[in-house]
Each structure stands twice: as structure tokens, then as C-alpha cells.
Amino acid sequence: MANTTIVKGLRYHFTTEQLYAHMKNRSDYHESRANTKETALPELRAAVDIVKAAGTTAAANIATMSKFSNSNYHFDAGDQVEQLEEDIKDHRNKALVFRTLADHLVDDATYDLDESELRRLEILK
């Protein structure tokens, strides 16, 4: 009888060097995105302030239009600021996670990863 290797599911092998390079790349990417978004944050806050200042007048004008006479028009610009702040935190956290993982890989190892691990490591989407 021939010697047969049975493989259950798809497995992916990565060397320490391959994973280290990928994780450093992802860390750099998330750090860069956080910096870009953080740079945009003051401009968004200023724009939100302008919209909020004009919002009461704009809402009153919309409410007086016949088509919208029963309108309860509302725009909460603060949501965009909070969302951007959360995005920045998320990118900073991901950068930290990838840096930490990269710095704690075992030298000269082969990592056997499945599809869910590839997604978590942002190798697959």
C-alpha cells in the first residue's frame, strides 16, 4: 500500500522572516493611517463647529419648506468626530498589536496558519 499523506483543510506555512516582514508592514500601515486621520481631526472638528453653528438656522429653514413642513431634520456632526477618534484609536491599537506580535516571533520557525488566522493577521480579507 502506498504511503498517503492526508491533509485536513487548507494550511499555510510562513517562515519567521515572512511573518515578521508582514507584521512590521501592517504595523507601519496602521500607524500611518492613524497619523493621517489624526492630522485631519482638527479640520473635521472646525467643520463640525461651523455646521453646528449653522445647523439651527438650516433646520428651521428646512422645517418651513412646505414639502418638509412636518420635518424634524437633525444633523449630529459630533458623530463624525467621535467616529474619526475611534478610527484613530483602532489603528493605533492594531499597530501596537502587530508590533508586539512581530517582536515575539520564534526565530527560525515555520508557522502553520489557517484561514481565520490569515484574516486576523490581515493577510487575507
Model confidence at 25, pLDDT cuts 50, 70, 90, reads very high
Q: pTM for this one? A: 0.74
49 located within any domain? no
What's the burial of 23, exposed, middle or buried (CB within 10 Å: 0-12/13-18/19+)? buried
CA-only gyration radius of the chain, Å = 25
100 located within any domain? yes
Give 32-74 pLDDT, tens digit per residue: 999 999 999 999 888 888 877 776 665 555 555 545 455 555 5
87 located within any domain? yes
5 located within any domain? no
Give 80-121 pLDDT, tens digit per residue: 889 999 999 999 999 999 999 999 999 999 999 999 999 999
The total number of structural domains in the chain stands at: 1
95 located within any domain? yes
66 located within any domain? no
Give the C-alpha separation, 97 to 13, whole Å.
Answer: 21
Examine the pLDDT at 8 and tell me if it is beyond 60. Answer: yes
pLDDT at 55: 62
Q: Are 92 and 31 in contact (CB under 8 A)?
A: yes
Enumerate the β-bridge partners of residue 15: 110
Q: How far is CA 21 from the centre of its chain?
A: 20
Q: Give the structural domain span for 23.
A: 12-41+76-120
What's the Cα-to-Cα distance from 21 to each of 16, 18, 77, 100, rounded to whole Å?
Answer: 9, 5, 39, 13
Grid cell, residue 15, equals 517562515
85 located within any domain? yes
DSSP alpha helices (H): ranges in the chain?
Answer: 16-64, 78-103, 115-120
Grid cell, residue 43, equals 479640520
69 located within any domain? no
pLDDT at 66: 45
Give Cβ neighbours of residue 68 (< 8 Å, ≥ 6 apart).
62
